[in-house]
Chains A and B, each alone.
Chain A
Amino acid sequence: MSANTVQVRFADRRSAISLAVFAALVVALAAAPAWAGRDDLHLLGEIFAYVALASLWNLLAGYAGLVSVGQQAFVGLGGYMLFALAILAGLSPLLAIPAAGLIGAVAAVPVAALVFRLRGHYFAIGTWVVAEVFRLLASQASALGGGSGTSLPAATVIAIAETRAMREFVIYWIALALAVAIFALILWLLRSRYGLALTAIRDNELAAASNGVDVARVKLVVYVFTACGTAMVGALVFLQKLRISPDAAFSVNDWTAFVIFITVIGGIGRLEGPIVGTIVFFALRQALADRGALYLLMLGAVAIAVMLYAPKGIWGLIVARLDWQIFPLQRRVTLTRDKSEGEAT
């Protein structure tokens, strides 16, 4: 009887190449202040924010099966915490971003305790209600401008950097770093035990539970993690805008509809999906810039069409054809026998 050694590997040669290309891209983007104009930097910053938000929503809905249409609750919470900490506590805005993330994580726990009592579609609407509650509470907070919102005071803005150009570079780099960090953390999470548990839960919750997976705990961890990241992105977004108001902070359109469409069109349940989706989304937006309502209408129609005819999104179509993965996530099992090598996935 020959001995078999079993190895579990993540990467293969193609993904190694793709990963290298991706790394090079990140470096090029980091150097953007040198080669990009002011408007382009803003656009890139927006893109990074949406990539991060979509990746987080993808983790929540595509991997943990928690379809939330209320993530704007944490975007707004993050934004308002940044303003609150900067204005009321005099905290440096750069420190306020991670602090906002922490507050988001803490807030997510009681929220989860409530909304996890609902299942499926009702869970989705429940998260929306929570976001509405946050919005209404923010409208009541007169210290932060109540219903019409407030601006970041000049002193706080100057504290970021001396010149306006430098400030924009700093915010840009934070946006890039945040997007990369969130992405890397999600990748790390999915490769860990939690990732395996998530895939099991996604495939068959009952079977996962009977195999010892603590389903409730895994879902809570993912929900809190997502809330933390979403809050940080929210803080960043409103730092960049320099102004916040309840309607902007908790907008369903901006922070949920767009994010969902991006993820669906790009491909749910795949790490690369949100990136592909964001690119497509912004390309569409540049093309249809001035059409307002018509643009949103088209977006809705495209999302429906994708859901019906290509439910795995654009990246799903690519994977089906080429079996690509840029980010090594799929566990490939290799069996080595004495002299020959067989591969099974």
Chain B
Amino acid sequence: MEWTNTIVQGILTGGLYAMFAAGLSLIFGVMRLVNIAHGDFIVLAAYLALVVTETLGLDPLLSLIIVVPLMAAIGYALQRGLLNRTLGDDLLPPLLVTFGLSVIIQNGLLEIFTADSRRLQAGAIEVASWQLAPGLAIGVLPLLQFVIAVVVIGALQALFYRTAFGRAFRATSDDPSVARLMGLDNAHVFGLAMALSLAVVAIAGVLLAVRTNFDPAIGPARLIFGFEAVIIGGLGSLWGTLAGGVVLGVAQAIGAKLDPGWQLLAGHLAFLAVLAIKPEGLFPRIRG
């Protein structure tokens, strides 16, 4: 039963990783940009939620109402004001600019909030759990987070493949020049994509903040988890990303069970194994 417990925990954690990954793969899909500061934005969202809950006394999950639109607005402004100028054939500018952003965000947060570890208090729900079977208890919070992750990914999937909005994203991603001939303003579409990405990041950040302690320096690790989930799952497929997150979560859980110091290593090794054996990922989307 202990191992079942471990694996279930891993699956639930995987949902969170999939959320980290979803925002990342979204903007890569639309504009071939990888945001090195992605993990730091997750942490930024966590701190924003902290400020909102402390000043307004809101329940953390309710703080999403403010944090999500705020982060979306930041994403739109960031893309149109800064990142749109880095897009092009050369991959150095966007990589270096987002790397610089990562350093700025981390150190800005450090200046404002110090390196102290923080946590969002969600109350009783934090320790509540369901006893499914002797020895198998599922935390309500992790389960809720997993369900939220599935809902978010499902919503993104529906957005991309069933709405005019999503059509615009896919067309601009295919051929930005011809997309303009359809009346689509590339700069605006990219801005919306980043806004959407940071909205997802906001949800991920709040979920993270409730679940674990956070400080300004944990961003890069989240970026790596998201990235690993994307690669394990396969580029171009949102459901694949969920699967990738789950695989990563389970690998880490198993590693941690064997030896607490092996948790991260196990995850990385799973990633490297997929890279070595099936580099296109476990569930790649075949492009038409």
- Which A residues lie at the B interface, using CB under 8 A? 61, 67, 69, 113-115, 117-118, 120-122, 124-126, 128-130, 132-133, 136-137, 139-140, 252-253, 257, 260-261, 264, 268, 293-294, 296-297, 299-301, 303-304, 307-308, 311
A161 to chain B, nearest CB (A): 38
Given A121-B34, A293-B111, A300 and B104 touching (CB < 8 A)?
yes
Beyond A114-B272, A260-B99, A308-B93, 13 extra complex contacts between A and B, CB < 8 Å: A117-B276, A118-B279, A124-B95, A130-B272, A132-B264, A140-B261, A294-B107, A296-B103, A300-B100, A303-B100, A303-B103, A304-B101, A308-B86
Instruction: Give the number of chain B interface residues (Cβ < 8 Å).
Output: 43
Contact of B92 among A67, A115, A301 (CB under 8 A): A67
B276 touches A136 (CB 8 A): no
Given A297-B107, A307-B93, A117 and B279 touching (CB < 8 A)?
yes
Contacts of B92 in A (CB 8 A): 61, 67, 268, 307
B215 at the interface (CB under 8 A from A): no
B140 at the interface (CB under 8 A from A): no
Residue of B whose beta carbon sits closest to that of A264: B96
Complex Cα distance, B263 from A140, in Å, reads 12
- Which B residues lie at the A interface, using CB under 8 A? 28, 32-34, 36, 82, 85-86, 91-97, 99-104, 106-108, 110-111, 220, 223-224, 227-228, 231, 261-262, 264-265, 268-269, 271-272, 275-276, 279
Contacts of A130 in B (CB 8 A): 272
A63 to chain B, nearest CB (A): 12
Complex Cα distance, B96 from A195, in Å, reads 24
Contact of A126 among B28, B33, B82, B275 (CB under 8 A): B275
Complex Cα distance, B93 from A303, in Å, reads 10
A133 touches B34 (CB 8 A): no
Contacts of B36 in A (CB 8 A): 69, 121, 124-125
B275 touches A114 (CB 8 A): yes
A301 touches B86 (CB 8 A): no
A284 to chain B, nearest CB (A): 14
Q: What are 11 A-B contacts defined by CB distance under 8 Å? A: A117-B279, A121-B91, A122-B227, A129-B228, A133-B265, A133-B269, A136-B261, A293-B110, A294-B111, A303-B100, A307-B100
A122 touches B85 (CB 8 A): no
Complex Cα distance, B103 from A265, in Å, reads 15
